[in-house]
Amino acid sequence: MADVSSLVSEGQNSHIVVCTHCESRVLSPQSATLLKKSYPLPMPTQPKNQLSTLTEDLSEWWVVDDMFTFDNIGFSHSVGSTKYLVCADCERGPVGWHDNNTRKSYVALTRVKHA
Ligand SMILES: [Zn+2]
């Protein structure tokens, strides 16, 4: 597990969270809470002719309680009770997922940049 202590202050993000591709600002400092929990997220690129979605298990997330907390975020189509989060500007991702039931959003630390 990567050492994320430099990114966390009092359990929250100490840095600006931006898109790894276009540096669009996703979250302001101190707006999300760190959660360590293994959860699968689809790979950013999927091989052609793949019938099922390839995922990887990621273990560190910024939890955002209210989607209006985001500076910028895009949503993909719903898959069951889940929507995937993508960059609002370049639409790359997924950078995380949104639970339609709890209304909480989870941004993968490894899918974003900390500026
Ligand atoms: Zn982007």
pTM of the model: 0.94
CA of 30 to the centre of ligand 1 (A): 21
Q: 38-59: string of b/e by CB count within 10 Å (b at 16+)? A: eeebbeeeeeeeeeeeeeeebe
Domains (range + CATH), the chain = 5-44+56-114 (2.170.150.10)
3-state secondary structure of 6: helix
Q: Tens digit of pLDDT for each residue in 43-94?
A: 999 888 888 889 999 999 999 999 999 999 999 888 899 999 999 999 999 9
Q: Tens digit of pLDDT for each residue in 91-112?
A: 999 999 999 999 999 999 999 9
CA of 104 to the centre of ligand 1 (A): 21
CA of 27 to the centre of ligand 1 (A): 13
